[in-house]
Chain A
């Protein structure tokens, strides 16, 4: 049984209330940080722990905190990004719904480290009931003295506010989130300046994912060294993975990053394998934005090594034969799924969610959706596949924010690994309407030339 740091207490009855949470050892990290550590020491601990951002990019959190500008007389802000709207990702929802005090506790500690006297939770608008849960938790924490002025005589003031989004995926991009929080239209800002220098209301700001902030609690409680012992290499600690798709046991799992992808899918402790008679066809290991991988590249890397559930191993081979850890939205597709239709539905999502600020993303996402719809409904041409490739190439990297990349990558990866399925759709338009391409050879072991192995 793997070690759980975040969700170990999530199923204690009544853990959403302050009394139970405190009885189970809650708010120890705040006590420890405020009484025995300086803000810089807390930041140092987080740096030493090797914690990486859990929102998608995997940027080292301690380093991000270190970049925060600290001019005199200017307030600093911590903003928690709870605008979790990526298809396939629902880990933050679970954490906030079942153990809300963990996020509040992590936020107080992180606010102390960053010197933020007012911290915000920007929560996805659709999570209506969770915003209420969090507000209750904040109320309880405040009543017990963990928030407010001069917390336990430490001289540190902190208040937490919950801000509800209005249903835009783009507001999960940190600068769009800040714009939205300021009450403006949620358009991403042009960087630089980065939020660490000019963020919320022009003040230095750190934007962190819910899970990242929650992970500060075990780091302070257990110590950075203990935390860093879990996991492999630069992937330290535990990670929440929200598994969904064609598996027996969809749900949120906390893994220490030492298990293989194969174990994660097939072990009864986690996903519990695929339904009887179904075979693994493909998987998106980190939320809809990251490249899809066929079964043969998912379980083993291109070099033939076992792929592990770590940041490095999932990214092994770059985009040519790898993917990304992303936000941990693990979507499994079995042989009854159609990759073309799947890609179309993702393209439709990104078209709908593009903010429309910069031209490649605004126009390109809609174009890709229309072409994919044509291919899916049997009206495609072979040249459409090359056209799709060219469009995604011209979107990727040329936009203001990563949404352009996120829209381009799934299409690129689908064509890269499943081109024959696209071609089959074009060449058999009638048949493609009635049956799927199936598994074909996607699970076959790939031939690895000796030159690659060397």
Chain B
């Protein structure tokens, strides 16, 4: 940024959880908190910085404003949605330092999970689900809900996207994608209240070239990739950055591989789970890249993707796996431990020494003659 433009953009100073931060005027509280990062950043389930008009709906990013601004230091009477509240000079925001916020947030998590099926073991989103993270970080253990969960009729919305309406938390992100990325909107919210559902109008199939981005913006497993369905758990896959010359989109993607196999293609995500920007433009990808280019030869690999080391996905990164040193005999002073259960380090079923494989196991390994013998 040159010095002239730096001066012309007025900046605003505020404090969030007693940490001061200076941001350009017009920034939202949530984006200011994202500049600080860490626990100070409120979670966001519906806000998506690349989608205009999103946010304000899920209420997980509620914060307390202890002082509205330097000019008018009165506190705001209610908790406010940080994603839709603009910063003011001298604003004092309390997020994790406010008991009110923590209480309200725990309440919102409980509300969001009321009707959300806990089918994580069979859900393709598990491992990269924002609701899982939210529940883990901000929720209470257990629910007080004793009633049947709301369910919906299954609906087919086309060959590429799987809609699981029961898992939807109505963040409206996908409808903004339909509105803003695709030229022919056929996707929206029908009905109201807790029986509101996202749907294509009269089940019209979504065949727009950018419709696949709905999968990327969906925070839960309501919209998943049909070409990846039940193929693998994300934490067994290896996310790799790759690119290709795409005439339609930026062509910069993450490949989710198992060995050489490309199981899934998604846009690149940043640390907030949003699509990365490339040269100032959101890196949405087209359906050709996402669904049709499923061979490693279609892509130029760049290297391993950035995955937070706290994420379960980062587990699958090891190559040349080494067997950890056996320390048990040392600890036991030479005595053999009495095992409660027979534990193997060789897969009895497939006769494959997993630790001997050069990388993560692939389908080919299990189809090898050694495995077949078992």
The finding on whether chains A and B are genuine partners in a shared complex, rather than unrelated, reads: yes
A355 contact from B56, B81, B147, B192, Cβ within 8 A: B192
Instruction: Report the separation of the CA atoms of residues A316 and B84 in the bound assembly, to the nearest whole angstrom.
Output: 34
Number of interface residues of B (CB under 8 A): 35
Q: Which residues of A contact B144 (CB under 8 A)?
A: 387
Measured CB to CB, the closest approach of chain A to B78, in angstroms, equals 5
Main secondary structure, interface of A, reads: helix
Residue of B nearest to A362 (CB): B194
A351 contact from B114, B191, B194, Cβ within 8 A: B194
B193 contact from A365, A387, A399, Cβ within 8 A: A365
Q: Is the pair B59, A360 in contact by a Cβ cutoff of 8 Å?
A: yes
Could you tell me which residues of chain A, from 154 to 186, have a CB within 8 Å of some CB in chain B?
Answer: 168, 170, 185
State whether the Cβ of B145 lies closer than 8 Å to any Cβ in chain A.
Answer: yes
Main secondary structure, interface of B, reads: loop
Q: Mask for B24-62, Cβ within 8 A of A = 1, else 0?
A: 000000000000000000000000000000011111101
Q: Is the pair B79, A359 in contact by a Cβ cutoff of 8 Å?
A: no
From B90-98, B104-112, B213-221, B335-343, the one touching the partner chain is B104-112
B196 contact from A190, A353, A362, Cβ within 8 A: A362
Instruction: Report the separation of the CA atoms of residues A398 and B78 in the bound assembly, to the nearest whole angstrom.
Output: 7
Q: Is the pair B192, A394 in contact by a Cβ cutoff of 8 Å?
A: no
Residue of A nearest to B79 (CB): A398
Q: Is the pair A398, B107 in contact by a Cβ cutoff of 8 Å?
A: yes
Query: Which of B58, B59, B81, B170 has most chain A Cβ within 10 Å?
Result: B59
Q: Is the pair A356, B193 in contact by a Cβ cutoff of 8 Å?
A: yes
Q: Is the pair B108, A366 in contact by a Cβ cutoff of 8 Å?
A: no
Residue of A nearest to B172 (CB): A357
A366 and B62 contact, Cβ closer than 8 Å, known pairs A397-B79, A398-B107: no
State whether the Cβ of A53 lies closer than 8 Å to any Cβ in chain B.
Answer: no
A185 and B189 contact, Cβ closer than 8 Å, known pairs A363-B114, A367-B114: yes
Q: Is the pair B104, A398 in contact by a Cβ cutoff of 8 Å?
A: yes
Measured CB to CB, the closest approach of chain A to B148, in angstroms, equals 9
Q: Is the pair A362, B58 in contact by a Cβ cutoff of 8 Å?
A: no
State whether the Cβ of A4 lies closer than 8 Å to any Cβ in chain B.
Answer: no
Measured CB to CB, the closest approach of chain A to B84, in angstroms, equals 5
Q: Is the pair B192, A399 in contact by a Cβ cutoff of 8 Å?
A: no
Q: Is the pair B104, A365 in contact by a Cβ cutoff of 8 Å?
A: no
Q: Which residues of A contact B169 (CB under 8 A)?
A: 359
State whether the Cβ of A352 lies closer than 8 Å to any Cβ in chain B.
Answer: yes
Q: Which residues of A contact B114 (CB under 8 A)?
A: 363, 366-367
Number of interface residues of A (CB under 8 A): 27
Residue of A nearest to B103 (CB): A394
Q: Mask for A333-373, Cβ within 8 A of B = 1, else 0?
A: 00000000000000000011111111110111111001000
A190 and B193 contact, Cβ closer than 8 Å, known pairs A185-B188, A394-B104: no
State whether the Cβ of A130 lies closer than 8 Å to any Cβ in chain B.
Answer: no
State whether the Cβ of A7 lies closer than 8 Å to any Cβ in chain B.
Answer: no
Q: Is the pair A190, B59 in contact by a Cβ cutoff of 8 Å?
A: no
A370 contact from B58, B147, B191, Cβ within 8 A: B147
State whether the Cβ of B208 lies closer than 8 Å to any Cβ in chain A.
Answer: no
Instruction: Report the separation of the CA atoms of residues A399 and B188 in the bound assembly, to the nearest whole angstrom.
Output: 22
Could you tell me which residues of chain B, from 86 to 132, have a CB within 8 Å of some CB in chain A?
Answer: 103-104, 107-108, 110-112, 114-115
A357 and B57 contact, Cβ closer than 8 Å, known pairs A351-B193, A362-B196, A363-B194: yes
Q: Which residues of B contact A356 (CB under 8 A)?
A: 170, 189, 191-196
Instruction: Report the separation of the CA atoms of residues A209 and B240 in the bound assembly, to the nearest whole angstrom.
Output: 59
Measured CB to CB, the closest approach of chain A to B42, in angstroms, equals 13
Residue of A nearest to B81 (CB): A190
Instruction: Report the separation of the CA atoms of residues A365 and B111 in the bound assembly, to the nearest whole angstrom.
Output: 10
Could you tell me which residues of chain A, from 369 to 427, have a CB within 8 Å of some CB in chain B?
Answer: 370, 387, 394, 397-400
Instruction: Report the separation of the CA atoms of residues A394 and B111 in the bound assembly, to the nearest whole angstrom.
Output: 9
Measured CB to CB, the closest approach of chain B to A111, in angstroms, equals 30
Instruction: Report the separation of the CA atoms of residues A321 and B188 in the bound assembly, to the nearest whole angstrom.
Output: 44
Q: Is the pair A354, B57 in contact by a Cβ cutoff of 8 Å?
A: no
Q: Which residues of A contact B188 (CB under 8 A)?
A: 185
Q: Which residues of B contact A364 (CB under 8 A)?
A: 111
Q: Is the pair A353, B193 in contact by a Cβ cutoff of 8 Å?
A: yes
Q: Mask for B157-184, Cβ within 8 A of A = 1, else 0?
A: 0000000000001101000000000000
Measured CB to CB, the closest approach of chain B to A445, in angstroms, equals 34
A358 and B194 contact, Cβ closer than 8 Å, known pairs A394-B111, A397-B78: no
A-B contacts, 23 of them at CB < 8 A, read A190-B56, A351-B193, A352-B193, A354-B194, A355-B196, A356-B195, A356-B196, A357-B57, A358-B57, A359-B57, A359-B58, A359-B59, A359-B60, A359-B111, A359-B169, A360-B108, A370-B147, A387-B144, A397-B79, A398-B78, A398-B107, A399-B59, A400-B81
State the 9 A-B residue pairs at the shortest beta-carbon distance, nearest first: A394-B107, A356-B196, A190-B56, A363-B111, A354-B193, A366-B194, A397-B78, A363-B114, A356-B193
